[in-house]
Amino acid sequence: MDKSSKIYIAGHRGLVGSAILANLKSRGYSNFILRTHRELDLKDQLAVARFFEEEKPDYVILAAAKVGGIIANNKYRADFIYENLMIQNNIIHQAYLNNVKKLVFLGSTCIYPKEASQPISEDALLTSPLEYTNEPYAIAKIAGIKMCESYNIQYGTNFLAVMPTNLYGPNDNFDLEKSHVLPALIRKVHLGKCLEENDWSAIRLDLQYRPIEGVDDKSTEDEILYLLNKYGIGKAADQNISIEIWGSGKPMREFLWSEDMADATIHIMESVNFLELIDVTIDKEVRNTHINVGTGIDISIKELALLVKKIVGFKGQFWFNTEKPDGTLKKLTDVSKLHSLGWKHKVEIEEGVNLIYNWYKRYQKK
């Protein structure tokens, strides 16, 4: 890649896309094509075709996606499969038609079977059933992998697919219904601490920038308390503040700092080509050329909650609601392929939780 290469980042305002843009700038790249959702609806086939024909990017990073946690994935199943398939199909196909030199597609490790052997290697793809709650999203991401492989095989393109583990970092989504587990925990524990300390100015500041179901800083205390209680933040029988966490707390999860993910993506964009991921002398069937991106280290949801509690300074208690789903009990990636390609993560989970909580307090507004 040349520093003046024309680079299109789809989803440049999101958690990963914003980190990728910052990383590229730090490396001296300067020729970016950026469009907000308002400027370019990636689900619109004609609009995407017109955009590629006019702009002719040299490189494409496909970080745009509809994402969410276990609640959103299970509730909005049709939205997740439709929107992600449309975004991927439009961008990958237009990248081929417009002779893009290289494309990197970002997926998710939820592509793997629910009962996959641990740690999960790339070869586990499509070996048994998926976890039910995120099946539509996972199928969309699997389709993206297969599109990249298929276009490479048929047309000789250089399209790569990377599958990050659970990501967190600056510009994360802290919506209590639609966010992933770590940002949801950060916000719930932060609000629980504010409630514990009767710090209504801090609660109202939080709701000023991130209203929940129309409840904001101008709502009454009763309205706010009702809303917080709905999302599992309220007083227990002993009058201490209690926070509900879905499931048993036993599931193990792996977390990757978003700026590490950005660094891995650019490393792969600069240093890896599709043909290097296969051995044409023995691979009669080309499969599983995607690359896991993670830390190879996991932590239980309960341990994670206790870590967040310590860092935030919350003194209350957690209530693990076992009537709610746990999801997959263990999902740890095998990152040996990634390491063999010359990249390893830098930020460990405790440092990362400190970083994201400090960011959350500094940048209340999303």
- Domain housing 342: 7-171+254-297+331-347
Residue 239's pLDDT band, with cuts at 50, 70 and 90, is confident
At 135 the pLDDT is 94
Q: Name residue, tokens 């099946």.
A: 135
> Among residues 15, 28, 87, which one has the least CA distance to residue 266?
28
361 within some domain = no
102 within some domain = yes
Say what percent of the chain tops pLDDT 70: 98
State the first-to-last Cα distance of the chain, in angstroms, to the nearest integer. Answer: 32
At 282 the pLDDT is 67
- As a residue count, the chain comes to 366
The residues near 73 (Cβ < 8 Å, ≥ 6 apart) are 80, 133, 134, 136, 137
Omega before 119 within 30 of 0, i.e. cis: yes
At 216 the pLDDT is 95
147 within some domain = yes
| 171 vs 99 pLDDT, higher one | 99
Choice among 59, 96, 137, 357 that is catalytic: 137
In 10 A of CB 270, how many CB atoms?
A: 11
241 within some domain = no
User: Can you tell me the mean pLDDT for 108-129?
Assistant: 95
84 within some domain = yes
> Among residues 261, 270, 350, which one has the least CA distance to residue 309?
350
User: Can you tell me the mean pLDDT for 82-109?
Assistant: 98
Say what percent of the chain tops pLDDT 90: 84
Q: What is the CATH number of the domain that holds 99?
A: 3.40.50.720
Indicate if 137 belongs to the active site: yes
pLDDT at 123 over 70: yes
pLDDT tens for 280-328 read: 666 678 999 999 999 999 999 999 999 999 999 999 999 999 998 887 7
Residue 329's pLDDT band, with cuts at 50, 70 and 90, is confident
Number of structural domains, the chain? 1
231 within some domain = no
38 within some domain = yes
292 within some domain = yes
